Structures are given as structure tokens and as C-alpha cells.
Amino acid sequence: MIHGTVSLRGFDPNSDTAVRLNVDGIPNNLASGYMDMRPFSSFEIERIELVKGTFDPRYGLNYVGGNINVVTKQGGNVTKVKLLTGSYDTYEVDAVVAREKNNFSQTYFVSYRDTDGYRDHSEMEKGSMSGKWFYTSTDGRMSVGAIARFFNMDANAPGYLSKEEFKDDPTQMQSFARTDGGEQTNKQGSIHLDYSLTHALNWSFKVYAQELERSRWAKFSETGNQQERRTEETQYGAISTLTYETRDWGVERLTLTWGVDYQYQDDLYQRYVTVDRVRQGAPYTDWDYDQGYWGSYLQADSDVLSWLRLTGAMRVDYLFGEFEDKVSGEKRDMIDYGAIWQPKIGAVISPYEGYNLFANYGRTFQAAWTGRFNEDDDTDYSKNDGWEVGFKVSPVNWLAGRVAYWQQVRSDEVVTNVYGDPENLGETKRRGWDFELNLKPHEWVTLWGSYSRVNAEYADPGPANPERDGKDLKNIPDYAIKIGVDLEHPTGISAHVWMEKQSDYYIDYLNELPKVGDYEVVNLDLKYTFPVITIGVQVRNLLDEEYAGFIWYNEGGTPEICYSPGDERSYYAYATLDF
């Protein structure tokens, strides 16, 4: 299967559930906690809002190291169609149609993509569609609407290669992975209400329901069995936010926010031994469980003085659920974690216009997916305490920069290994630097870049693994760099070139194997915009770098060190029509 995850603040997205994903305000994490961006096409996305760190009080479950909010296109009077073709017999069509009249807006989106993939046995076909219907009252005080989404994907998986196989022919599939792959279907519906009770008091309310069905077939070695990992999930939830803003309480501005959210899940997780995707008897793992949470927070955000902004919040979450292991017949309740308190506090000092000093502290949490129902395990929920200090500058409209130092200490960090089993890492510590710079030397040209350095290590691995103390966490690069140049000429010509670079990393617990995984990839986009049509060309991996997107240590397996090759240089041409 292809991944739909991102990494933030030194958390490995392949094994850790550290990032909360919301799309148009609706949670989109799986029951296990993993985020999944696959159902959402880039053509539908209006913008992506990224929050790093532990300071945001809006979210509880699945928010550990950061959160991502995806906002999709809505409203207006537009018809846009995009047609794309390119390397590996790739074909894609996207279309968005939006209409507004008499305070009513409707937006429709459809996407389809088919590709053979860079490697043998990596064919993928996926499609999605969505509809949005919203009504705004004449006086503008109320907005009510609904969103419906559907997504389906069928993808093959070529398996991991040994280093020798990777060097010899990265396009080949692993011999024993000839029937690996997966299927996935998502359905989602939501209702949204925004209402201004007074000029200062506003209420936002959302309810949603969503279903997921996914089967993944995977074989990790020639001598092992192929597994089918079957997931069925149904989620229901509601989110309420009440906001009051005033300038009459002796400060320049005060915003008070009270938020409440609730989610209930009915989940099934199974594993079968299969031969070429054919089940060989009953499941050897068969979990039928329901789980839920409700959380609430209060936040005060105030411009106390013209140069001082203070923010404080407290969030509390409660988890509940029941679990049945249908193989053993065992039933048990979720561990009673009690009230999970998460304090937040922050300050921004602006001594001069365009210059800001900031600092914040916050606590986030996570309860291990498979450990939430283990009453014999005295492991508490994982507490993640983080703080950040930094400086942001934008003295002129052509220059913006940001630098920050941060640290996060997490207790009882539980991750999921590649076999789907939990591992308790004990106490971990992450710290690092973030640098961002945007420079506009000319009205047509923008230079931008970011640099993130991370040191992630075991702070106290516990009595079972004392030899790990002070070692680096595996699969975490020391740094990542992204730099680029954007050209937007008034004649309609535009060009974008950027480089993504990642350092190497350890792949074993004791850091005894050599570091691997460093690469740098350059990409290029060129396009020309006519009155109703835009013609473009994309070149991915412009310099034809041979690299592996992910490498991991399969201790005792074959191959022992597993490589997932990245795509070679590839070309795509597209046309976007704007009616």
C-alpha cells in the first residue's frame, strides 16, 4: 500500500500515531490513530494549516506532536477541469464545479487516477468524489451546510528489496510479493452549523459519520506466510465551539473559547493467513471492539497590551470502550485512565512592528491502540510535555523569517512495529531547531526554504532495555531541508523548482548498523496560463537521484535490511481548463 502520512517533530509516521488530521473540521484518523491523506486530491485542497508542537488545545486524541487541518475548495462560480498524463502510464482527471445563487452554494468534486507505478507490480487505481451544500442567511448570522465524500482505491504492492536487489534493479518487485497489495473504501458525511448569537458571541457545531473498509495483503519474507489485515471502522462524532470576543474588559482584546467534542467508534480488526489473497481458514486475530472519547477545553487569548499577547488553556479528555477477542473469547473494558488533563500556556512579545518573540508550553497525550484494553498492563497513557521558544520577523513585505528551538519529553511511548505489534519505548526525548525563510527580491520572484534539525533519543528505556539508554530512536533523520524558487511572470509564465533533502538515520535500536536513507531530490514545475486554459509540465526527481524513500531493519527476516525505492526521473504534462 502507499502511505498517506507525514512526519512532524521527530516522530516516525510508519510506527507512531503522533499527528492529528482534520479535513474541513472533521477528524480523519483511523482507529489505530494513524492519519491518512490518500482520500484527498491536491486539486480539491484550498490550503493546508499545519500546527507543530503541543500548544493547541482544540484536539485531544491522536494529537501528540502536531496537527494538520486541510481546507477544501467551497463556493464561488467556477468550473475547473484538470487532465494529466505522464510516466508509468499515469492518467488523471480532476474536476470541480461550484455555483452560488441567492445565499445558497453548491460545490462538486470528482477525481480519478490510474498508474502502473515505477516498480513492477505497483499498479494503483483510485477515485474520489465529494459534494458540499451550504446556505447563508441574508443577514449573514447563520450558515448551515452538509458535506458528503466517497473514496475507493485498489493498489498492488511490490514489496521491499535487499540492498543488492535495490542497486541491481530498483524497479523489480520482491519475488514473494507477487500478490501483495490492498483495497480501501471510505464514506463520510457531515453537517456544519455556524451561528452568531450576538455580535460578540459565535457558535460552531458539526456532526459527522464515516465508514472505512480496508484489506491489506502483505508477505515479509519467502518463508513467511502472506497475511490479510482486515479493518472495518465506523465513527460518529460531534464538535461544538463557543467563542466570545470583547474589547471592553480593560484589555485591547480578549477571546474566550469553550470547545466540546465527542467521538464513538465501532471497530473490527482481523488477520488471516492467505495464499495469493485466498484465506486459509478462520482469522488468527479477530478483535471486535468499540471505543470513544469526549473532551472539553477552555481557552483565554488576550492582547493584554499593544506589545503583549497571552494565551492560556486547559483541556480534559475521557476515554471509554469495550473489547472482545473472538479467537480466545476474552472480553474486557478499556483501562480507566480517569481525567486526562492537558494544560497549555503561551506568550508573544512584539517590541516593534514586524518583530515577535514567542514561547509556549503544552501537554498532549496518547493511549496505545492495542494497549488501551489490557487491564493487566499498568502502563499509563503517554504524556508528551513540550515547549518552544523562538523569534519571528517580518519587518518589510518582501522578507519573513522564523527560528525556534523546541523540546518534547514523552513518557511510556508506545509504537507499532512493522508487524503490527506494540512496543513500549519507555521515556523518550526529542529536541531540535526549526528555521524558515521567505524572501521576495523581485515582484516576480520568491525564494523560500526551511531547515529542521532533530535529536530523538531514549531518555529512560526502562529495566527491560537498559542498553538503549541514550541511543537515537530508529528511523528518525537528523535533519530535513527544503528550499525552492518560485517565478510568477505577469505574462502567464510560471516556474517552480525545489529541492528536498533528508539526512541518514539509524534503523536498529542499539545504533550498531551504519546509518542509511540520506537523499536529495530536485523537482520542477513549468506552466503557462492562457485566458481559459493552463498548460503545464512537471518533472519529478529532475537529477535522477537513486534513492530509497524508506529503509527499515527486518531483524531475523529476509531481506534483513529492507529498501523501498523512490521513483526515478519522471515526466507529467497537464492542462487545466477554467470555464
Tell me how crowded residue 385 is: count the other CB atoms within 10 A of its CB: 17
* Three state DSSP letters for 222-246: CCCCEEEEEEEEEEEEEEEEEEEEE
**Checking DSSP bridges between strand 285-305 and strand 533-540, what pairing results, if any?**
unpaired
Indicate if the pLDDT at residue 96 is higher than 70: yes
Q: How far is 85 from 302, CA to CA, in rounded Å?
A: 51
User: Can you read off the three cell numbers belonging to residue 392?
Assistant: 519571528
Tell me the average pLDDT across 344-360.
96
Tell me the average pLDDT across 378-393.
90
State the DSSP code for 166. H
Boundaries of every domain in the chain:
19-578
Distance in Å from the first CA to the final CA of the chain: 36
Indicate if the pLDDT at residue 377 is higher than 60: no
Tell me how crowded residue 8 is: count the other CB atoms within 10 A of its CB: 20
Burial classification of residue 521, based on how many CB atoms lie within 10 Å of its CB (0-12 exposed, 13-18 middle, 19 or more buried) = buried
CB of 40 within 8 A of CB of 48?
no
Q: Is 158 helix (H, G, I), strand (E, B) or coil?
A: coil
Q: Nearest CA to 481 among 455, 448, 457?
A: 448
* Three state DSSP letters for 336-389: CCCCEEEEEEEEEEEEECCEEEEEEEEEEEECCCCCCCCCCCCCCCEEEEEEEE
Indicate if the pLDDT at residue 382 is higher than 60: yes
For residue 285, list its beta bridge partners.
271
Indicate if the pLDDT at residue 297 is higher than 60: yes
CB of 12 within 8 A of CB of 57?
no
Tell me the average pLDDT across 553-564.
85
- Band (pLDDT 50/70/90 cuts) for residue 559 is confident
Indicate if the pLDDT at residue 555 is higher than 90: no
More confident call, 373 vs 169: 169
Mean residue pLDDT across the chain: 93
Q: How far is 182 from 237, CA to CA, in rounded Å?
A: 28
> Given 3.30.450.90, 3.20.20.70, 3.40.1000.10, 2.40.170.20, which CATH number is that of 19-578?
2.40.170.20
Q: How far is 59 from 81, CA to CA, in rounded Å?
A: 35
Tell me the average pLDDT across 360-379.
80
Question: pLDDT by residue (tens digit) across 71-93?
Answer: 999 999 999 999 999 999 999 99
Tell me the average pLDDT across 35-57.
93
CB of 162 within 8 A of CB of 121?
no
Q: How far is 107 from 112, CA to CA, in rounded Å?
A: 17
CB of 18 within 8 A of CB of 65?
yes
- Band (pLDDT 50/70/90 cuts) for residue 420 is low
What is the structure's pLDDT at 220? 85
Let me know the angle formed at the C-alpha of 173 by 169 and 177, rounded to the nearest 5 degrees.
Answer: 155
Indicate if the pLDDT at residue 253 is higher than 70: yes
What is the structure's pLDDT at 331? 92
Tell me the average pLDDT across 36-52.
92
In order of 273, 280, 476, 481, the CA distances from 276 in angstroms are: 10, 10, 34, 41
Q: Nearest CA to 505 among 450, 552, 541?
A: 552
Q: Give one word for 277, left, alpha or beta, with left for phi > 0 and alpha for psi -120 to 50.
A: left
Question: pLDDT by residue (tens digit) across 299-342?
Answer: 999 999 999 999 999 999 999 999 999 999 999 999 889 999 99
CB of 155 within 8 A of CB of 1?
yes
What is the structure's pLDDT at 401? 97
Question: pLDDT by residue (tens digit) across 234-246?
Answer: 999 999 999 999 9
Percent of the chain whose predicted confidence (pLDDT) is above 90: 84
Burial classification of residue 218, based on how many CB atoms lie within 10 Å of its CB (0-12 exposed, 13-18 middle, 19 or more buried) = buried
Indicate if the pLDDT at residue 1 is higher than 60: no
Tell me the average pLDDT across 281-300.
96
Q: Nearest CA to 475 among 460, 456, 462?
A: 456
What is the structure's pLDDT at 59? 95
Question: pLDDT by residue (tens digit) across 185-220?
Answer: 999 999 999 999 999 999 999 999 999 999 999 998
What is the structure's pLDDT at 462? 87
Q: How far is 323 from 317, CA to CA, in rounded Å?
A: 20
Counts for the chain of helices (H) and strands (E), in that order: 1, 32
What is the structure's pLDDT at 378? 55
* DSSP one-letter string for 390-401: EEEEEEETTEEE
**Checking DSSP bridges between strand 422-424 and strand 427-442, what pairing results, if any?**
unpaired
User: Can you read off the three cell numbers belonging to residue 355?
Assistant: 518583530
For residue 381, list its beta bridge partners.
none
Indicate if the pLDDT at residue 380 is higher than 50: yes
User: Residue 409: what residue type?
Assistant: V
